[in-house]
Amino acid sequence: MILDYEFTRLYKLLEGSITRALTTRNTNEQSKPVVDQSAILLAQYNEVIQQQNQQLFAYQQQEKHLTDERVFYQQKLGELEQMLKESQEQNAILKSSPQQTQHSNGDDSQLKTLCEQQQAELEYLRNMVVRIHSILAS
C-alpha cells in the first residue's frame, strides 16, 4: 500500500514531464538526452551490480573457509575427546592395579600430565568451534 501511494504521488508530481516526454519525440535532439541519461543510469546500475557480485563472492569464499575450518576443528575435537577418554581409562586401570608400585608413580605423573595437556587442547578447540559457529551464524 505504501509503495502504491508513493508511486501515485510521484506520478502526479511528474505527470506533465512524463506526458511531454512521451508525446514530443519529433526530433532526434530531444530523444538523445533521454537515451544518454538512461545509458548513464544503466552503466551505474551495472557497476553497482558488479560490485555487489564481487562482495557476494568474497563472502561466499569466507563462509566456505570458515565452514571448512569448523569441520576441521570438530574432527580434531572428536579425536582429542577420544584420546582423553582412552587416557582416563588407562589412568583408572593403572590406579586400580596394585602390582605396580614404583613404576606406577612415574607413569601416573606422565599420564596425568598428558591428560592435562589434552584437556587444555580440548578446551581450546571447543572455544574455536564455538567462535566459528557464531561467525557463521551471523
Residue 120 makes CB contacts below 8 A (sequence gap 6+) with none
Question: What is the reported pLDDT for 98?
Answer: 64
Question: What is the reported pLDDT for 99?
Answer: 58
The DSSP 8-state label assigned to residue 101 in this structure reads S
CB 121 within 8 A of CB 128: no
User: Cβ-count burial of 80 within 10 angstroms (0-12 exposed, 13-18 middle, 19+ buried)?
Assistant: buried
Residue 108 lies in a domain: yes
Residue 77 lies in a domain: yes
The DSSP 8-state label assigned to residue 16 in this structure reads H
Residue 46 lies in a domain: no
Residue 65 lies in a domain: no
- pTM (two decimals): 0.46
Residue 54 lies in a domain: no
Q: How many CA atoms lie within 13 A of 112 on its CB side?
A: 8
Containing structural domain, residue 80: 70-137
CA pseudo-torsion sign 52, 56, 61, 65: positive
Digitized pLDDT (tens) for each residue of the chain, 138 residues in all: 455 777 787 788 888 888 887 787 654 455 555 567 888 888 888 999 999 999 999 999 999 999 999 999 999 888 888 888 888 888 888 788 765 555 556 667 787 888 888 888 888 888 888 888 788 777
Question: What is the reported pLDDT for 54?
Answer: 94
- Return the residue matching grid coordinates 506520478: 11
What is the count of structural domains for the chain? 1
Residue 58 lies in a domain: no
Question: What is the reported pLDDT for 106?
Answer: 62
Residue 100 lies in a domain: yes
Residue 84 lies in a domain: yes
Please choose, from the candidates 120, 136, 138, the residue with its C-alpha nearest in 3D space to the C-alpha of residue 71. 136
